[in-house]
Amino acid sequence: MNLRGSLILQPAPNLRHLALFDSVVRRGSVSAAARDARLSQPAVTQAIAHIEAVLGARLLQRSYAGLALTSLGASAAQRVERALQMLREAVGALRVRAAAVVSDVLSGITSTQLDALIAVVEEGAFARAARRGGRARAAVHRAARQLERTLGTPLFEVTSFGVRPTREAEKLALRTRLAFAEIAQAQAEIAAAQGTGSGSTTIGAMPLARSVLLARAVLEFAATRPEHGITILDGPYDSMLAALRRGLADVLVGALRDPLPYEDIVQEHLFDDPLAIVVGAQHALASMRAPTLAALTRFPWIAPRRGSPLRRHFDALVSRLEPQHAAAAIECNSLVAARSMLIASDRVMLLSEHQIQHELATGQLVALSHPFGPVSRAIGLTLRRDWQPTPVQAQLIDGLRRHARAVARALWTGAAGAA
């Protein structure tokens, strides 16, 4: 799963230009912003023109009342303000620790330096960061070290494995990437308003979402907004969560976690997914509608990946089996491989019945009742706490919610096949 840079502008936006645009918006005047920054008015005007070129629209206009935001400028101004606030909070925390006193915490910091920091943190080494951006190693090293000196706090440490980013560097890189993603969101909103595009959405899909929910919602959305790019990721939950927190994914769809793994994300419950004991059609338990714990002890298991919600349900179940008779489980993170093993052996697995609808319909697998009675796991959306979707992205998210309600109705009325 490699999405580096997919959601942020290339090259990174000029911080000084962004700050000057924000100042003009707040002060309502180019001359006032110029005085604050100790620059000439033409220099500020040139900075505004640069931002307008990057975002692809006129953001400010003169009227009888003075300088005012255009309708597109108003939306962009909110995104720029959010981006600068993210950066000021992240940089300010480091400069406070270093006892540095400056009028603006972003003073002396450039987007080139921050871009270098992101690359080094994500690649883990200066050489790899340089190769990733097609730059000389010395240039990346110089930019990153200059940022370190400006902040007055260590961003890199020497270990037995070489130079590594500190925890402070990782935090700053994370917030910087999210700040740059805000500018990309502004660009997407402007493109949508002008009819020249509408940006993109990256969705991390866990197994249940991939099997039914996501495909229906995405196909419906794409039919109405064909200009909007959609990328669907799969992979281990930890990798997709990392992509979400870094701004490389916008939403995850699938099993919710309890407790919440990080404070900077939120989870939205969509429905409860009932679980079943699943075996091959030729299995000795296939004719037993509700297998007992004693019956389940006689057969080997396929276990879900450790740390997943499904694994916790599995552990709760097998802890009640008689361990002296239980065979070792095969841990399997691939639903395709698990289904193949179930069909070809006498192994047993705890699964979502909804994920194997095709195999159930074709008679390859059989779903049996859970010996504890109705057992389910929570399915929903995982989002960054401070994420503000564009209107087009919000339309896609609403479609996911609507299709989830249809899935929920089908699951709990026994009509899953018609969902």
Question: Angle, nearest 10°, between helix axes 167-194 and 71-97?
Answer: 180
User: Considering the entire predicted model, what is its pTM?
Assistant: 0.86
Cα–Cα distance, 319 to 315 (Å, whole number): 6
Cα–Cα distance, 419 to 411 (Å, whole number): 8
pLDDT(419) > 50: no
Structure-model confidence comparison of residues 356 and 326, the more confident one: 356
pLDDT(179) > 70: yes
In terms of C-beta density within 10 A (0-12 exposed, 13-18 middle, 19 or more buried), how is residue 88 classed?
Answer: middle
Strands (E), 167-264: 200-205, 229-233, 251-255
Calculate what percentage of the chain has a pLDDT beyond 70: 92
pLDDT(99) > 70: no
Cα–Cα distance, 168 to 37 (Å, whole number): 29
Q: 408: pLDDT confidence band, cut at 50, 70 and 90?
A: confident
Query: 274-376: same fold as 199-269+378-418?
Result: yes
Strands (E), 281-385: 301-303, 330-331, 348-352, 365-368, 376-384
pLDDT of residue 418: 34
pLDDT of residue 1: 46
**Mean pLDDT of the 237-256 span:** 94
pLDDT of residue 7: 43
CATH architecture, domain 15-176: Orthogonal Bundle (1.10)
Q: 401: pLDDT confidence band, cut at 50, 70 and 90?
A: very high
**Could you tell me how many residues make up the chain?**
419
Query: What is the pLDDT of the chain when averaged over all its residues?
Result: 89
* Residue 393: partners with Cβ closer than 8 Å, 6 or more residues away: 199, 201, 250
The residue ranges of every structural domain in the chain are: 15-176, 199-269+378-418, 274-376
CATH, range 274-376:
3.40.190.290
pLDDT of residue 407: 83
- Which CATH fold topology does 199-269+378-418 show? D-Maltodextrin-Binding Protein; domain 2 (3.40.190)
